[in-house]
Amino acid sequence: SRGINAEYGGSVVEQIGVWMEDTYGVTLVAERPRKGELWHSDVIKLAVEHEKEGLIGLLYLDFYTSDKKKSPPCNHVIRSRTAKQLPVSVIECNYTPSNGYRPPHLNINTFEKLFQELGAAVHS
């Protein structure tokens, strides 16, 4: 939705964000992380906001491949919703960064998996 600027995955997440906003009144808003909050400079922090309830959670997008990631896209619930704390989730993918000219292509299976994991993250 608003302000997601990622070399890879950003436009897909933006389109999913538009659908979520139209369907559920939920907006994904890029946030500036605090110093030391992210484990890698490529990770994107998103606030998950509901049109009536306000901030309802935080979501981190970790798109790119690394030696520590071996799995397909998955959602890690870091903290579940409680009366006093917002839920926090991480979408972890194993995508190859772009070659500098254009982002890599997401095939339909990869898109569906990312869509599924984003839905699970926002639901949690």
Residues that are catalytic? 117
Which residues, at least 6 apart from 70, have a Cβ–Cβ distance to it below 8 Å? 94
Q: How far is CA 32 from the centre of its chain?
A: 14
**How many angstroms separate the CA atoms of 90 and 69, rounded?**
13
